[in-house]
Amino acid sequence: MTNLSSLSFYLPELFLIGIILLSIIIELIPGCRKYNYFVVLAGLISVAIMLSWSSTESVSIFMGMSVSDPFAIFFKWIFVIATFYIVLISRADNSLDKRLSGEFNILLLIVMFGLFLMVTANNLIMVYLSIEMVSIASYILAGMLKNDLKSNEASLKYVIFGAFASGLMLYGFSWLYGLSGSTDLHEISAALSGHMDQPFVIYMAILLVLVGIGYKISMVPFHYWTPDVYEGAPTPVTAYLSVAPKAAGIALLIRFFSSTFTTDISTTVSNIDWTTLVAVLSAITMTVGNLLALQQTNIKRLLAFSSIAHAGYMLMVIPVISVDARAAVMIYAVPYLFMNLGLFFMAIAIHNQTSSFEISKWKGLGSRAPLMAGIMVVLLLSLTGLPPTGGFIGKVYLFSVLIKFQQFFWLAVIGVINSVISLFYYFRIVKTMYFSSADDETVFKIHPLLYWSIISCVVPVLLLGIYWSPLINFVQHSISMF
């Protein structure tokens, strides 16, 4: 489709660009600065409205550079919701510098724009540009606390690992381009099918691409940055990194591998067995994530390792190249968004009061704040994957795909064992809340924004655990990919 007629499929992105520019201008006018927060929130709502109006056709737009399809729109909803929550609660976090809140919101919107491009990318150039757009803005966000040494370190580690991983991915891209003579994902797939004599080079290219995308979703062995960046970065940024770029990375991985390295529905390109490679990496990812989470005493580090484990769960079904597998990942991503955000919001609330992220500060919460403690139990149940929560439904769908597809049955077994391991460290938090007496009996104070955000996070988690057919219907309608 030509550039001008593509614009009608690009309204949410155009709105987003407009809001970014508007909030930069507002930031420059001294008297208007305090309205930036509300402009950004209103802008996000307008993007959501545009998104609900956007067409559900699957078309390639901008001369094949990107696509517009229901699969991308589904993930765009996740990004809008996550960004809205983070902008909303950024006010309630005491560690963020209030004078920088305008810059914070603008950078967050830029990351969100990059994520929009990432899930729609259909060309190597767009894939690289969107990953860099997300990464560069996230490096700055991670180092937002300029005087905090941990935040400096987090952004340093992030930038070095990120630039290195994208450099390796780029080298892989150059080989893909050399082999196929095209940068379009579908044309590459068509060209690669004829290159039976170069399996080694294709395999190297697949590995290098996997490094770049695997780094974004913190897949083992490219996960080294995750715990340090998650611990050092400001907590709202950590919460954002743990949901939005991770979901985008998974979406990009699905699109890239199912359109480029797959010839038809389930044959891999040139018979190269990348599916076993991804299956083994997924098993290692969840095992390493869960085992290292066992010994953490810092809630942000614990959630970092838990997010590595969850990346492993979502990777589990990617080797099964089918529509069901894609649907299972999408179903899992929705409760994951809410349960992770809810726990990070609680970590912010406790940090505001005690200036510490140690889990021991959660002591006695069961009696000091019964409602919040109860909600945390629900969210932790959901992260473990126990009923009656959304996390359980997500896991049921993931495992059922693997069990139906006999070849990777062993992966389902490893997944179940890992869920049992994760029960141990999630319920250590529950034990701390209910069975350890508090060091100080001061009243637990929580910012109303955080309070209502946490409640609005737990409602969908519980609802999806009891009545999940709307989500399944929505996913079934969003399954088609260009």
Partner 1 sequence: MDNLTSYLIISAILFVLGLYAVMTRRNGIAILMGIELILNSASLNFVAFNRFGGMTKLDGHVFSIFIICLAAAEAVVALAIIINLFKNLESVNVDHASSMKG
Which residues are near partner 1 by CB under 8 A? 124-125, 128-129, 132, 135-136, 139-140, 143, 146-147, 149-150, 152-157, 159-160, 163-164, 167-168, 170-171, 173-175, 177-178, 181-183, 227-228, 231-232, 295-296, 298, 301
Measured distance CA(134)–CA(136) in Å, rounded:
6
> Is the Cβ of residue 179 or residue 471 nearer to partner 1 in the bound state?
179
Encoding tokens for residue 277?
A: 């490679």
Closest-CA residue to 318 (of 277, 346, 373)? 277
At closest approach, how far in Å is the CB of 244 from partner 1?
19
Which pairing describes strands 66-68 and 59-61: parallel, antiparallel, or unpaired?
A: antiparallel
At closest approach, how far in Å is the CB of 296 from partner 1?
7
Burial track 17-40 (b if 16+ CB lie within 10 A, e otherwise): eebbeebeebbeeeeeeeebbebb
Closest-CA residue to 281 (of 257, 313, 323)? 313
| DSSP per-residue string spanning 118-174 | HHHB-BHHHHHHHHHHHHHHHHHHHT--TT-HHHHHHHHHHHHHHHHHHHHHHHHHH
> Is the Cβ of residue 129 or residue 284 nearer to partner 1 in the bound state?
129
> Is the Cβ of residue 164 or residue 444 nearer to partner 1 in the bound state?
164
At closest approach, how far in Å is the CB of 168 from partner 1?
7
> Is the Cβ of residue 230 or residue 468 nearer to partner 1 in the bound state?
230
At closest approach, how far in Å is the CB of 164 from partner 1?
6
At closest approach, how far in Å is the CB of 175 from partner 1?
7
At closest approach, how far in Å is the CB of 468 from partner 1?
37
The helix or strand, by DSSP H or E, that contains position 40, with its residue range, turns out to be helix 36-53
Measured distance CA(371)–CA(440) in Å, rounded:
19
Encoding tokens for residue 243?
A: 């949901």
> Is the Cβ of residue 135 or residue 384 nearer to partner 1 in the bound state?
135
At closest approach, how far in Å is the CB of 367 from partner 1?
30
At closest approach, how far in Å is the CB of 409 from partner 1?
35
Name residue 298's beta-bridge partners: 358
Give Cα separations from 357 to 143, 364, 387, 453 (angstroms). 18, 15, 28, 19
Is residue 64 a contact partner of residue 123, using CB atoms and an 8 Å limit?
Answer: yes
> Is the Cβ of residue 189 or residue 382 nearer to partner 1 in the bound state?
189
Name residue 123's beta-bridge partners: 184
Alpha helices (H) along 316-447? 323-354, 365-368, 370-384, 390-404, 409-435
> Is the Cβ of residue 41 or residue 156 nearer to partner 1 in the bound state?
156
> Is the Cβ of residue 58 or residue 259 nearer to partner 1 in the bound state?
259
> Is the Cβ of residue 259 or residue 268 nearer to partner 1 in the bound state?
259
At closest approach, how far in Å is the CB of 159 from partner 1?
5
Neighbours of 228 (CB within 10 A): 19
Measured distance CA(61)–CA(76) in Å, rounded:
17
